[in-house]
Amino acid sequence: MKSAENILAQKGIRPTAMRLLILEYLQEQPAASGLSALEDAFDHADRVTIYRTLKTFEENGVVHKIIDGSDEAKYAVCFEDCDESHHNDMHAHFKCKACHETFCLPDAVRLPLFPAGFRVDEISFIASGVCPRCKS
């Protein structure tokens, strides 16, 4: 995995301490994180700063937003080659009913290709069930 510093440099985002911390945190998570989880993890930072950081990341193709049907959006680091004009996160997500975590499934499940002429800007495919960790 690329370092947080490399990713920010590559996307042309100024690497402030807060941005580096949040990106490193997101890289370490096995599942996607919501704003409230980030607030808990960075209780010295204010909510607006965290939110703006996520927005900057999202707008520059660093993280993608996942709408999983819970009351807040979740964010996960992009695996695909995303940039400021377009996200290519055409992977499915999995929401665990036991731990309520939402995981990216980057390799396991690919979404169908769309017919020529359709440009997909946003897509949401959420499978729900029990994750391997909760199953045992």
Q: How far apart are CA 3 and CA 16, in angstroms?
A: 14
Integer-rounded Cα radius of gyration of the chain: 15
**Pair of tokens at residue 131:** 């994750």
Nearer to Zn ion, 50 or 96 (CB): 96
19 lies in the binding site for Zn ion (CB under 5 A): no
- Segment interacting with Zn ion, rule: CB under 5 A, options 8-16, 44-52, 77-85, 115-123: 77-85
**Rounded to the nearest 5 degrees, what angle is found at the Cα of 71, between the Cα atoms of 4 and 95?**
65
**Does residue 105 touch Zn ion according to CB under 5 A?**
no
- Asked whether position 45 contacts Zn ion by CB under 5 A, the answer is no
Identify the residue among 98, 111, 120, 126 touching Zn ion (CB under 5 A).
98
Contacts of 37 (CB under 8 A, 6+ apart): none
Instruction: Return residues touching Zn ion (CB under 5 A).
Output: 64, 76, 78, 82, 87, 89, 96, 98-99, 104, 131, 134
